[in-house]
Structure 1
Amino acid sequence: MPKTNWKRNLYILMVCQFFVMAAMTMIIPFLPLYLQELGVTDPQSVSRWAGIIFGANFLTAFLFSPLWGKLADRHGRKLMLLRSGFGMAIVITLTGFATGPWSLLFLRLLNGSISGFIPAAITLISMTTPKERTGYALGMLQAGAVAGGICGPLFGGVLADLIGFRMVFYVTGLTILITAVAVLFFVKEDQQKKEEIVKTNTIEDFKKIVSTSPILSLFIVFFIVQCALIGINPLLSLYVQDLTTSQNVAFFAGLAMSVMGFANMSASPFLGKLSDKRGTQFVLLISLLFAAIITLPQAFVETYWQLLIFRFLLGLCLGGLLPSINSLIRHLAPEGMESRTFGYSNSFMYLGTMLGPIAGGWLTSVAGIRSLFIASSILLLINVLIVKYNVVPAMSKRNTSTSSKKKSVANL
């Protein structure tokens, strides 16, 4: 691809990521309230249905992600963006017509099966960006998504009060439709020469991909990161409630999430550039180590403002996690199987996103909310060991081998 195109694609998809993430997170603040409007009145039933419906989206996303990765390798990454964008626009608009919890559950399952706009954008950018600028590009893309995640719940809460729950789904669908149209007309992907693709099944693809070290380790790191960090989010408001006497618990809980997102958005481009210069694996290692260290004291804070400071510092570390993992996967993916590699990576991510809150809820019920931060810190330290003893040595070995080959070619 011409070098002028990757920057245009990056900036367009960065804006698209913002609007898609903002649209998708607009519905989160009032999902339990929407269930009440659909006729679920018992508080325990509302909580149970809300948890099931929230997780349903990630269950089908986990199952279908490898399929979309395989199709992307065969038919192009832009096509997967369009499939996801137009598909989600239709399904989310239909969600505004739900008649009960079962129809809402079905639509959330359907949405998960066709979703994947953000992973598809990551794949396209990683494939069209020069390898030496991949860290920077993925950091910018992450910043756009995080910014949308910060603004979305705020927009959703305001719109729900002004126009009602159902209308928010229509606004969300329209927003995603507009971003899909923008991708259709403005994002460019070179039509690469088609080669004969050997038909393989999912298990064969997976075995071939993880045979490249340290891809499997990175998949596990991705899963643990999501478990450790996402597992806290649904229960954060309960912790804030314990730390403050204010009546505006929802506002303060939202602020604790937003300040972490703001720090993440600010740090991602800088850490992306740093990874391009110093080595992505080292940025990942240091970010994980600091995240583990900063997560632990959150279990022992006595005031809300202490928690807020640590959440901000944790957000700075997050800017070096997901972009670094995705950048390493891009460099390691077998040729011709890049999208399939990202597909399996996304499956591990979705699995962690689904299981993290479930495990977090169980642990909180057994050992209390503070134990959640201790467990999260331990999981992140396990990741540090995986990266230190598996990822860093493997990447150093690969880099040394690549340098030796270049020298041999130069001597010839």
Structure 2
Amino acid sequence: MELWRRNLYILMGSQFLVMGAMTMIIPFLPLYLQEMGVTDPEKNQMWAGVIFGINFLSAFVMAPVWGSLADKKGRKIMVLRSGFGMSVVMILTGLATSPLQLMLLRLLNGTISGFVPASISLVATNTPRERVGYALGMLQSGGVAGSIMGPFIGGALAELIGFRMIFYLTGALLGIASLVVLFFVKEEKLPEEEKSQSAGFFADGSFILHQRTLLILFAAGFLLQFAMLGPQPQMPLYVERLGAPGGYIAFFAGLVTAVTGMANMMASPFLGRLGDRIGSDRVMVYAMIAAALFFIPHAFVTNVWQLLVLRFLLGLCMGGLLPSLHALVRHHAPAGKESTVYGYNSSAIFLGNMMGPIVGGFLTVWIDIRGLFLVTAGLLLLGAWWIKTGLNRPTTPKREQTVPQKRVSSAH
């Protein structure tokens, strides 16, 4: 097997475990807090929201830092740092005895995370350019599969082995996945071979954030996640309003999410390969337009079955979004700074993950979830126009596509 394929398949499996571990806590977090003595419903909801969200807050802050280190020390070592670190934190989470301890551990977990952007960077820089779209699509499938199966497995295991044992088991699996990466993944394109220049973390960051094309891509990543996740917390209430068959609200609310993820997982490799042939920018624009068009009828459905069909079609479109975005970031990143750029891109995505549900919740109070679907469609159409017009304009000249020395960047 070609080395890049072997790396891809191993990192796909590892991403499945990592994303599963990050989402496995969702179904039983309020119950875990009750076990710790937080029985008041309002306090339980408050703690659950803070504990779940703080992981993404610290990941948002630290992603560029770990990306910069990956460009200096290597991408594989960053994957291992994150994998082994999260393994230890997961085991410690099983030993937590108070909500404060749990919150601090989730904060630490986000701080040392970076497995996903490091894996994306490693695959993108060690895969032939003509196969990057396909490889990133496959990697996306692994992560999405983990996100889908994580809550399901977490809920099932909570009934069988208890809450704390889930954390021990997850920590052990993350450790095993990291060992597999250690022994079987090989990074051919090392930072030394790229002869990357560094003017320091802040100077490099300033240079990257002054690249108009990269800013467009970061904004697109934020907008995608903001729009896609905005209606997500309201979906169970929408399912209840539409009338879940047999009164199985929780089941159909979960199914609505699952079919979207399954379609995403199915479409990602195909659309990634299509991006290699016709251009990732085209795939991204068309997928955003199609997603917007499928969001519009969300506002007018009259039963759950119609909603399920639309969510599946939406998931097919979503399969072309993040892989195309990652491929475009790889194409436009300055030589030797790919991981740093992916770090900033991940921060933008994390910010969208956090802000989308918050703002969506506030908007729902004023315009109802049906109105929120229409706003989401408008945001996606705006993003498609932005990518189409922004990436077709002249970009930074070739001679500027290396990181400047400190004196040049400070003058800039």
The answer to whether TM tops 0.5 is: yes
Q: Report the Cα distance in structure 2 between the residues aligned to 1:93 and 1:235, rounded to whole angstroms.
A: 32
Match of 1:51 among 37, 49, 52: 49
Residue 62 (str. 1) matches residue 49 (str. 2): no
Q: How does 1:95-244 map to 2 (within 5 A)?
A: 95-190=93-188, 191-193=190-192, 195=195, 197-202=197-202, 204-244=203-243
Q: Report the Cα distance in structure 2 between the residues aligned to 1:173 and 1:109, rounded to whole angstroms.
A: 16
Please state how far the C-alpha of 1:377 moved relative to its aligned partner. Answer: 1.2
1:186-241 alpha-carbon deviations (Å, 9 max, x no partner): 10012453647433232x22332244441110100000111111222222111111
Q: Percent identity of the aligned residues?
A: 53
CA-based RMSD: 1.8
1:220-270 alpha-carbon deviations (Å, 9 max, x no partner): 000011111122222211111111244321111111111011111111111
Q: CA 1:387/1:256 → structure 2, altered by over 3 Å: closer, same or farther?
A: same
Who is 2:404 aligned against? Answer: none
Q: Report the Cα distance in structure 1 between the residues aligned to 2:117 and 2:191, rounded to whole angstroms.
A: 21
Who is 1:362 aligned against? Answer: 362
Q: CA 1:7/1:258 → structure 2, altered by over 3 Å: closer, same or farther?
A: same
Query: Structure 2, unaligned stretches of length 5 or more?
Result: 399-412
Who is 1:18 aligned against? Answer: 16
Partner SS, residue 214 of structure 1: helix
| C-alpha contact 1:228 1:379 (8 A) present in aligned 2 | yes
| C-alpha contact 2:208 2:214 (8 A) present in aligned 1 | yes
Q: CA 1:271/1:92 → structure 2, altered by over 3 Å: closer, same or farther?
A: same
The one-letter amino acid of 2:226's match is C
Partner SS, residue 250 of structure 1: helix
| C-alpha contact 2:12 2:138 (8 A) present in aligned 1 | yes
Please state how far the C-alpha of 1:393 moved relative to its aligned partner. Answer: 4.2
Partner SS, residue 189 of structure 1: coil
Q: Report the Cα distance in structure 2 between the residues aligned to 1:21 and 1:55, rounded to whole angstroms.
A: 15
Q: Report the Cα distance in structure 2 between the residues aligned to 1:30 and 1:296, rounded to whole angstroms.
A: 33
1:74-123 alpha-carbon deviations (Å, 9 max, x no partner): 00000110011001011111111111211111111111101121111111
Please state how far the C-alpha of 1:69 moved relative to its aligned partner. Answer: 0.6
Q: Report the Cα distance in structure 2 between the residues aligned to 1:192 and 1:87, rounded to whole angstroms.
A: 23
Residue 308 (str. 1) matches residue 308 (str. 2): yes
Greater alpha carbon shift after TM alignment, 72-81 vs 99-108: 99-108
| C-alpha contact 2:198 2:204 (8 A) present in aligned 1 | no
Partner SS, residue 40 of structure 1: coil
Q: Report the Cα distance in structure 1 between the residues aligned to 2:287 and 2:392, rounded to whole angstroms.
A: 14
Query: Structure 1, unaligned stretches of length 5 or more?
Result: 400-412
| C-alpha contact 1:282 1:392 (8 A) present in aligned 2 | no
Q: Report the Cα distance in structure 1 between the residues aligned to 2:152 and 2:247, rounded to whole angstroms.
A: 18
| C-alpha contact 1:274 1:283 (8 A) present in aligned 2 | yes
The one-letter amino acid of 2:358's match is I
Runs of 4+ in 1 over 3 A off after TM superposition: 194-199, 210-213, 392-395
Q: Report the Cα distance in structure 1 between the residues aligned to 2:156 and 2:176, rounded to whole angstroms.
A: 21
Q: How does 1:70-85 map to 2 (within 5 A)?
A: 70-85=68-83
Q: How does 1:299-378 map to 2 (within 5 A)?
A: 299-378=299-378
| C-alpha contact 1:222 1:325 (8 A) present in aligned 2 | yes
The one-letter amino acid of 1:312's match is F
Partner SS, residue 288 of structure 1: helix
The number of aligned residues is: 395
Please state how far the C-alpha of 1:47 moved relative to its aligned partner. Answer: 1.6
The one-letter amino acid of 2:373's match is F
Partner SS, residue 95 of structure 2: coil
The one-letter amino acid of 2:296's match is L
Q: CA 1:125/1:196 → structure 2, altered by over 3 Å: closer, same or farther?
A: closer
Q: Report the Cα distance in structure 1 between the residues aligned to 2:370 and 2:198, rounded to whole angstroms.
A: 51
| C-alpha contact 2:263 2:315 (8 A) present in aligned 1 | yes
| C-alpha contact 1:24 1:172 (8 A) present in aligned 2 | no
Q: Report the Cα distance in structure 1 between the residues aligned to 2:315 and 2:361, rounded to whole angstroms.
A: 22
1:105-148 alpha-carbon deviations (Å, 9 max, x no partner): 11111111011211111110000001111000000111111112
Please state how far the C-alpha of 1:365 moved relative to its aligned partner. Answer: 2.7
Match of 2:32 among 31, 34, 49: 34
Q: Report the Cα distance in structure 1 between the residues aligned to 2:129 and 2:147, rounded to whole angstroms.
A: 27
| C-alpha contact 1:291 1:318 (8 A) present in aligned 2 | yes
Please state how far the C-alpha of 1:332 moved relative to its aligned partner. Answer: 0.6
| C-alpha contact 1:212 1:332 (8 A) present in aligned 2 | no
Partner SS, residue 368 of structure 1: helix
Greater alpha carbon shift after TM alignment, 368-377 vs 179-188: 368-377
The one-letter amino acid of 1:80's match is M
Who is 1:286 aligned against? Answer: 286
| C-alpha contact 1:20 1:175 (8 A) present in aligned 2 | no
The one-letter amino acid of 1:186's match is F
Q: CA 1:281/1:196 → structure 2, altered by over 3 Å: closer, same or farther?
A: closer
The one-letter amino acid of 1:182's match is V
Q: CA 1:282/1:196 → structure 2, altered by over 3 Å: closer, same or farther?
A: closer
Q: Report the Cα distance in structure 2 between the residues aligned to 1:231 and 1:296, rounded to whole angstroms.
A: 14
Q: Report the Cα distance in structure 2 between the residues aligned to 1:189 and 1:196, rounded to whole angstroms.
A: 16
Who is 1:410 aligned against? Answer: none
The one-letter amino acid of 2:242's match is L
Q: Report the Cα distance in structure 2 between the residues aligned to 1:132 and 1:34, rounded to whole angstroms.
A: 47
Q: Report the Cα distance in structure 2 between the residues aligned to 1:197 and 1:297, rounded to whole angstroms.
A: 50
1:360-398 alpha-carbon deviations (Å, 9 max, x no partner): 121223332222212211211110111121124458x99
Who is 2:407 aligned against? Answer: none
